[in-house]
Amino acid sequence: MPLGLGRRKKAPPLVENEEAEPGRGGLGVGEPGPLGGGGAGGPQMGLPPPPPALRPRLVFHTQLAHGSPTGRIEGFTNVKELYSKIAEAFRLPVAEVMFCTLNTHKVDMDKLLGGQIGLEDFIFAHVKGQRKEVEVFKSEEALGLTITDNGAGYAFIKRIKEGSVIDHIQLISVGDMIEAINGQSLLGCRHYEVARLLKELPRGRTFTLKLTEPRKAFDMISMRSAGGRPGSGPQLGTGRGTLRLRSRGPATVEDLPSAFEEKAIEKVDDLLESYMGIRDTELAATMVELGKDKRNPDELAEALDERLGDFAFPDEFVFDVWGAIGDAKVGRY
């Protein structure tokens, strides 16, 4: 989609329009495929997983977030395989694994496992807990939600904006998986699809959310996290390198991202939240990778259309992404 001379007005955010904040949230690992393609039953595009002999022989330690002995997992090359290995280690159905955090058992949205795992990181797996059904009256266009997903078919709440419609409903918490809206199952949907559905709900009417919360350890019971300001905790990937997980092709061991790439990814992730109501560091990293060698916004737009056309990014968003990458290149942080 060459940008040409005309620039469309900024599209309204699908869920909310927060002020840009530095952060590293998001779980949508790899390059998103067609709508719903990231789901548990969706078609797998791209290269098949490499044979076991070619996979990185790295061993990671893991526990269930609510408490368990320590397990050892290895030989995975993407998030779905990681969840399968965790389920196997703890003799659980793989569908029970909701998401993972690194180096903390708490539902900490700053520590979500994204597309990279530090070689010395400890993985905590959060599994399904109590299910609940909540009626919400949509009194405002923006509900105050930021949505992310686990890269394997579950979308959940990453942040609740203070003072928003959802913030006043105590039964809804950060970390809750959104199973259904008005009876429509969302299992297998990507985060941007869920955000779009929430945005399209008519104002002035009541809708029903079916949610599943992560099972909590004793010290987390009765705690309701608002998903604090991103970037407040230690940076993920504390090891000497990281294992980068991809949905297409094998996982690879890489050096930590450069300072330019880290800052560019943060800025693009902020833009994703502002325009679309989602956070996804792996998607942001893919966009930075596509844009860092492009000579102008038109080339970036064409690359985004070719690789990420399902998102239908508006022109002004592409201009802002181009600007964010350019600012990071020259050190304007």
Cβ atoms of residues 23 and 331 within 8 Å:
no
* pLDDT confidence of residue 246: 61
Strands 59-64 and 123-137: parallel
* pLDDT confidence of residue 51: 56
Cα(319)–Cα(41) distance, integer angstroms = 35
The one-digit pLDDT tens for each residue of the chain (333 residues) are 445 434 444 444 444 433 333 333 333 333 333 333 334 434 344 455 555 555 556 889 999 999 999 999 988 888 888 999 999 999 999 999 999 999 999 999 888 887 778 888 899 999 999 999 999 999 998 899 999 988 888 999 999 999 999 999 999 999 999 999 999 999 999 899 999 999 999 999 999 999 999 998 765 544 445 444 333 333 334 445 766 666 555 666 666 667 888 889 889 988 998 888 888 887 888 899 899 889 899 999 999 998 888 888 889 999 999 999 988 888 876
* pLDDT confidence of residue 1: 47
* pLDDT confidence of residue 185: 96
* pLDDT confidence of residue 137: 96
Place of tokens 């297409």: 248
Rg (alpha carbons) of the chain, rounded to whole number: 19
Compute the Cα dihedral for 53, 57, 61, 64 and give only its sign: negative
User: What amino acid is encoded at 40 in this protein?
Assistant: A
Strand partners, 100: 125
Helices (H), the chain: 79-90, 191-200, 259-276, 281-291, 297-308, 315-329
Extract the tokens encoding 251: 């996982």
CATH number of 56-216: 2.30.42.10
* pLDDT confidence of residue 238: 44
* pLDDT confidence of residue 201: 94
Residue spans of the domains in the chain: they are: 56-216, 257-330
